[in-house]
DNA sequence: AGCCAGGGTCTGC
DNA sequence: GCAGACCATGGC
């Protein structure tokens, strides 16, 4: 991949394993909107970004080199060699096929609190409605960064609210879980940043102390928010897929990068509805 | 109308 | 350890 500065924009050339639609709309993040064909807008780390793809070039609009190297390079996981990982996973034929379907997915390095909160909301829910609830969460309790664009609210802000305040989200039974998570995080009972460098099992044990956080939500937080690339969240799609495609056991070659394999399998399962 | 959605808790065996 | 009821809300 080549990084080119061009008139206030940052361009990424020769990006073999980075497809915006696959990465931003695969159910790992819920705040990216497609404004028009191959042009997306999102908010992360308190910054608004427009990013688009055209003629094989991915452009980050109105982005300084400083922001690119301090924020977006890491956020989009650009320093990881996905081609190498695809090759490793291809030792298994089914993973190879799934990888060919989903080759352009990258695991975003989202903020831990946003990931935790988003996946609490995701439980027993569908992706369009998750997006709606997250949007209302930001509009009601985030900070307006630009006209009509809001940051993800902090745990401290949410912790200062009541269940009645959260009713505007229409998040149903999940509101009490959001509140408990906010209290434990803002109160220092759980220090999310510290979970990054912990052994994954210890980190998971911490996360499931939150009311309404079980193994699956914990693993999504570990994978999408805390860079534990070996986490393997088991949702209904993955359970069905692993049962059908692998006889219930994930192949050995997927152990090290299970989280990336998980995304490929999830995408493949949803695209094919497991009918082939 | 009833089922399902990137689940978790609680109860009862 | 495992099954089953229940949990809010909205789209189909």
Q: Please check whether residues A59 and A141 belong to one and the same domain.
A: no
**Residue A249 covered by a domain:** no
- Give the tens place of pLDDT for each residue, A184-196: 999 999 999 999 9
In sequence order, the 6+-apart residues with CB closer than 8 A to the CB of A144 are: A150
Task: Give the mean model confidence (pLDDT) for residues A240-251.
Answer: 93
CA angle, residues A129, A43, A140, in degrees to nearest 5 = 55
Q: Domain residues for A156?
A: 112-214
pLDDT of residue A1: 95
Q: Which nucleotides of B are covered by protein (CB under 7 A)?
A: 4-9
Res A157 pLDDT > 90: yes
Question: Domain boundary at A63, A79, A95, which?
Answer: A79
Element (H, E) at A195: helix A192-195
Q: What is the CATH number of the domain that holds A72?
A: 3.30.310.260
Point out the nucleotide closest to A235 (alpha carbon to C1′). Answer: B6
Task: Give the mean model confidence (pLDDT) for residues A211-233.
Answer: 98
For chain A, what is the domain count? 2
Point out the nucleotide closest to A170 (alpha carbon to C1′). Answer: C9
Q: Please check whether residues A140 and A206 belong to one and the same domain.
A: yes
Residue nearest to nucleotide C10 (CA to C1'): A129
Q: How far is the CA of A164 from the C1' of B7 (A)?
A: 23
Q: Please check whether residues A61 and A134 belong to one and the same domain.
A: no
**Residue A54 covered by a domain:** yes
**Residue A173 covered by a domain:** yes
Question: Domain boundary at A167, A195, A214, which?
Answer: A214
Question: Domain boundary at A59, A79, A99, which?
Answer: A79
Distance CA A221, CA A215 (A): 10
- Give the tens place of pLDDT for each residue, A108-151: 999 999 999 999 999 999 999 999 999 999 999 999 999 999 99
- Give the tens place of pLDDT for each residue, A18-64: 999 999 999 999 999 999 999 999 999 999 999 999 999 999 999 99
């Amino acid at each position: 991949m080549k990084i080119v500065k061009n008139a206030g924009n940052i361009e990424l050339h020769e990006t073999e394993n980075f497809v915006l639609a696959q990465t931003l709309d695969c159910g790992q993040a819920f705040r990216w909107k497609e404004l028009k064909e191959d042009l997306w807008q999102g908010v992360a780390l308190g910054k608004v970004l427009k990013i688009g793809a055209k003629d094989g070039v991915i452009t980050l609009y109105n982005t300084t080199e400083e922001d690119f190297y301090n924020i977006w390079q890491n956020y989009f996981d650009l320093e990881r060699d996905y081609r190498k990982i695809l090759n490793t996973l291809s030792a298994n034929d089914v993973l190879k096929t799934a990888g060919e379907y989903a080759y352009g997915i990258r695991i975003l390095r989202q903020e831990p609190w946003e990931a935790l909160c988003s996946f609490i909301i995701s439980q027993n829910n569908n992706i369009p409605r998750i997006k709606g609830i997250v949007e209302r969460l930001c509009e009601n309790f985030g900070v307006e960064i630009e006209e009509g664009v809001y940051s993800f609210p902090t745990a401290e802000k949410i912790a200062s609210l009541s269940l009645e305040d959260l009713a505007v989200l229409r998040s149903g039974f999940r509101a009490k879980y959001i509140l408990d998570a906010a209290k434990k995080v803002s109160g220092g009972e759980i220090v999310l940043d510290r979970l990054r460098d912990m052994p994954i099992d210890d980190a998971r044990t911490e996360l499931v102390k939150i009311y309404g956080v079980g193994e699956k939500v914990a693993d999504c937080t570990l994978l999408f928010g805390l860079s534990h690339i070996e986490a393997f969240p088991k949702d209904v799609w993955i359970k069905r897929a692993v049962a059908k495609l692998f006889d219930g056991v994930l192949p050995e070659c997927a152990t090290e990068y299970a989280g990336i394999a998980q995304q490929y399998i999830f995408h493949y399962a949803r695209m094919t509805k497991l009918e082939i």
